[in-house]
Amino acid sequence: MATQMDLAGKPKRDDWHTYFMKIATQVGSRSTCDRKHVGAVIVRDKTILSTGYNGSVRGLPHCDESGHDMEDGHCVRTVHAEANAIVQAAKNGVAIDSAEIYITASPCWNCFKLIANAGIKTIYFGEFYRDERIYKTAAAAGIKLVDMSRQKES
């Protein structure tokens, strides 16, 4: 991959949103379910507070070791990336109220509700994943959704 250059011929730096989404993608590379690799990064004031990826309950077998636990066409063995990032923040005593979260895929309905109740104010996501309810509820709750695949805010 070629490095992009600015007008002065210096390597071009990524903007903050691209930077944090790239980190979320890297975090997602740790996912242990091969059906979907998702990463999440919780940020406030351009500082990373917590990260998470989709993986099994701590200490239990992973999909890549024991196979998938399927219900209604979905693997339910894993804890989602967003939930893991929120849990890691809580476990380590890190306040995430009024933070932002970068996720490689938009949150499912249950993760969206966790994000909202954790006080996160902006959700940046890299691709849309399944649940349209997040749009109406985000608007009603004052949570900003940013689809980075389209580079526009909603």
Active-site residue identified among 71, 82, 100, 127: 82
What average pLDDT does this structure show over 11-19? 92
Q: Which two tokens stand for residue 129?
A: 């994943």
Instruction: Reply yes or no on whether the pLDDT at 31 is more than 50.
Output: yes
Burial of 53 (0-12, 13-18, 19+ CB in 10 A): buried
Burial of 11 (0-12, 13-18, 19+ CB in 10 A): exposed
Nearest to 52 by CA among 74, 94, 80: 80
Query: What's the mean per-residue pLDDT of the chain?
Result: 91
**pLDDT (0 to 100) of residue 152:** 46
Known active-site residue 100 = no
Q: Which two tokens stand for residue 146?
A: 């940013």
What average pLDDT does this structure show over 92-112? 97
Q: Within 10 A of 52 (CB to CB), how many other CB atoms are there?
A: 28
Is the CB of residue 102 less than 8 Å from the CB of residue 80?
no
Instruction: Reply yes or no on whether the pLDDT at 133 is more than 80.
Output: yes
